[in-house]
A = this chain, B = another copy of it.
Amino acid sequence: MASHDLYEMMSTLRAVRRLKPDPIPDDVLARVLQAACWAPTGGNMQPWKVIVVRSPERKAALADIYGPEWHTYTGFSRRRAEKAGVAGEELAKLERTLAAGDYLADHLAEAPVLLLFIADPAKMAITDKNLDRISMVGGGSVYTAVQNTMLACRAEGLGCTLTTLHCIREPEVKAALGIPDDWATLALVPIGYPIGKGHGPISRQSADQLVYDDTFGAPWQG
């Protein structure tokens, strides 16, 4: 197995939404799933599971849920962009992303594997649950594993992207995969070999935009 440089993997992990239906070899999939298992979780409780969805019926059931939600989202995105006066290269970039998302939504059932990450809130100490804002800390014991998974996909030459739109219709997702009521679904990650170039350059804000020095709003000088 080839060695893969950590920073090279991180800096080229972009969303890949056009996936070939070609199957993923067992040993490749095993390494991706092992990467998920290595992730840290609160109190090392590992309160998550991942369902590897590969049967045509269950992939179709998830696609039937995801597709309409995606198309609702793109309508919203376009209206918001119009309202904000987005134009030129920025608009063209948005349209490219939405077109790739349209492809994913319309071909979701053709991806060889859909990974659905779920978690049991009863196994988590959710420290922000009593605050006067929406809770987020539960994700801290699951998205670490999702990020490991996606970095492993990058290393294995598999395209992937983190999606959460299915949550809007979570009860239907649970019914489709037999997930108990008291579990939560956190991420649907379609994976497969890329149709195009796959991973490559990413567009991100730089550290001087995202990092503060000692206190909120204080510019980071690097």
Residues of A that sit less than 8 Å from B by CB:
1, 3-11, 13-15, 26, 30-31, 33-40, 42, 44, 46, 48-55, 58, 73, 97, 118-119, 121, 125-131, 133-140, 142-144, 146-148, 150-152, 155, 161-162, 164-168, 170, 177-180, 182-187, 202-207, 210-217, 220, 222
Contact = CB atoms under 8 A, between A and B. Distances in A.
A7 B35 contact: yes
26 contacts: A3-B5, A5-B5, A10-B35, A33-B211, A38-B204, A39-B147, A42-B164, A48-B210, A50-B211, A51-B212, A121-B133, A121-B134, A126-B134, A128-B168, A128-B170, A128-B186, A135-B135, A135-B136, A135-B138, A136-B138, A137-B139, A137-B164, A139-B139, A140-B164, A142-B143, A143-B147
A121 B137 CA distance: 13
Contact of A134 (B48, B138, B170): B138
A34 B207 contact: yes
Count identical subunits in the complex: 2
Contacts of A8: 3
Contact of A216 (B46, B133, B180, B212): B180
- The secondary-structure label for the interface of chain A is mixed
Contact of A4 (B6, B36, B46, B185): B6
Contacts of A150: 40, 144
Contacts of A121: 133-134, 136
Contacts of A203: 44
Contact of A184 (B14, B52, B133): B133
B136 A146 contact: no
A100 to B, nearest CB: 12
A34 B8 CA distance: 12
A10 to B, nearest CB: 4
Nearest to A183: B216
A3 to B, nearest CB: 4
Contact of A50 (B33, B128, B210): B210
A7 B31 CA distance: 9
A131 B167 CA distance: 8
